[in-house]
Amino acid sequence: MTSDKARAQRVVDEITVVVPFHDEENDIRYTLTQLENQSFKPAKIVLVDSSSKDSSNMLIRQWIVEAPASRSHFELIVSNASTPGEARNIGAASATTPLIAFMDCGLSFPTDWLHHSITLLTALDEICWVSGVCQTSGEGIVDECAIGNTYGRHARRPALPSSVLRTSDFRRVGDFRNLRAGEDGEWVNRANRSGLLRVTVSDCVVQYLSVNYANSMRTLLTKAITYAYPMIRAGRWFAVLTSLLIPVVAIVWATFSILTIWWLAVAYLLLRSLVALRKNRSAVRYFLRPDRLVVLWATALVIDVGRSIGAFHSIIGLLASSPKRQIPTREAA
């Protein structure tokens, strides 16, 4: 038993954990403690600052200075990265170990995350990588309803934070796109196309420490716009066209009569209710109380409006960045 544990520890010693962060002064010590308390110690834990304006860096430096000799090796990289994907790329570029792992701040995760993930990865002969699952619940009625319309309350989805893979496989698939949102899904799609199989570790559950999505309607609208803006660069053309065409068709159709507007509203609320029923394990909680149901519909509308605005901005951004047509010049004879 001791020899098995020693072999496993030697494997884990060959892994680098990459953690991007931005203004995480409230949660950074908790994240550092969770990483320190892993049952097996990685060779290096790289924390990549993504243009933080708070005291996150100071807290990490203090943590490193106060570290006892037995503590894991923590490394801080201060960067001007503007997106999570860019920060992950910076951290991944510094990895010299055969294995690499990704985790985010603001999450709770098991102390045996690395142990289980690497044990599974090294036992598989196929070209694969492993991920844990993220379980969302929401904090407060707005956040809970926003989660109900997006990820699904108490639903478990494979998550990039908690992933472990071979560094060579990461290099083969390529870096994350420099996107504000959706860079993880875009990378996963590229990994699938390259033949890299994703295996889910259902026992590794990560959860948000506080707000899961948004705690106010204003924040929700801003987030929906921000998340929708990179859809074109992430290759999600169908989502862009849907977000643009459906509102246009609905507005044109609504001009026919007041009765049409009524039926459109009823159809929208029914459709959104069915989506909530499909996405949520305990969707009935949204329909037992009128206040929850109203907020569920309201957050759905805010999300859809935000996605349409973000998709429109995405199209404008694409057109603005398109290279201008070059007019050939003639040389004088």
* 151: nearest Cα among 95, 189, 78, 206: 206
For residues 115 and 65, state if they share a domain: yes
pLDDT at 13: 61
Q: What is the pLDDT of residues 192-209, one digit of tens each?
A: 999 999 999 988 999 999
Burial class (CB in 10 A: 0-12, 13-18, 19+), 266: exposed
Query: What's the pLDDT band for 248 if we cut at 50, 70, 90?
Result: confident
Q: How many residues does the structure list for the chain?
A: 333
Q: Which residue has the tokens 């309607």?
A: 217
Torsion of CA 142, 143, 145, 150, to 10 degrees: 140
pLDDT at 321: 65
The residue segments making up the domain with residue 98 are 2-208
Cα 327 from chain centroid (whole Å):
43
Find the mean pLDDT for residues 246-257. 83
Among residues 174, 208, 242, the one where a domain terminates is: 208
For residues 98 and 169, state if they share a domain: yes
Q: Is residue 330 part of a domain?
A: no
The residue ranges of DSSP E strands in the chain, in sequence order, are 15-21, 44-50, 74-79, 99-102, 107-108, 128-135, 156-158, 163-166, 197-208
For residues 193 and 287, state if they share a domain: no
Q: What is the pLDDT of residues 228-247, one digit of tens each?
A: 887 777 777 788 788 888 88
The residue ranges of DSSP E strands in 120-209, in sequence order, are 128-135, 156-158, 163-166, 197-208
DSSP result, 92-139: HHT--SSEEEE--TTEE--TTHHHHHHHHHHH--SSEEEEEEEE---S
For residues 145 and 239, state if they share a domain: no
d(CA 15, CA 165): 9
For residues 125 and 222, state if they share a domain: no
Query: What's the pLDDT band for 258 if we cut at 50, 70, 90?
Result: confident
Among residues 183, 208, 233, the one where a domain terminates is: 208
Q: Measured over all CA atoms, what is the biggest interatomic distance in the chain, rounded to whole angstroms? A: 86
Q: What is the pLDDT of residues 54-89, one digit of tens each?
A: 999 999 999 888 876 667 789 999 998 889 999 999
Q: Is residue 273 part of a domain?
A: yes
Q: Is residue 329 part of a domain?
A: no
- Average pLDDT, whole number, for the chain? 87
d(CA 25, CA 41): 24
Find the mean pLDDT for residues 23-45. 92
DSSP type of residue 25: T
In 3-state terms, what secondary structure has residue 292? helix
For residues 194 and 235, state if they share a domain: no
d(CA 223, CA 307): 9
DSSP type of residue 211: -
d(CA 309, CA 215): 20
The amino acid that residue 150 corresponds to is T
Q: What is the pLDDT of residues 119-178, one digit of tens each?
A: 999 998 778 999 999 999 889 999 999 999 999 988 899 999 999 999 999 999 999 998
Phi, psi of 31 (to 5 degrees): -65, -45
The answer to whether residue 7 scores a pLDDT higher than 60 is: no
Are 164 and 15 in contact by the 8 Å Cβ rule? The answer is: yes
Are 176 and 86 in contact by the 8 Å Cβ rule? The answer is: yes
Are 118 and 99 in contact by the 8 Å Cβ rule? The answer is: yes
Q: Is residue 327 part of a domain?
A: no
pLDDT at 329: 31
For residues 102 and 127, state if they share a domain: yes
DSSP type of residue 231: G
Are 37 and 109 in contact by the 8 Å Cβ rule? The answer is: no
The answer to whether residue 326 scores a pLDDT higher than 50 is: no
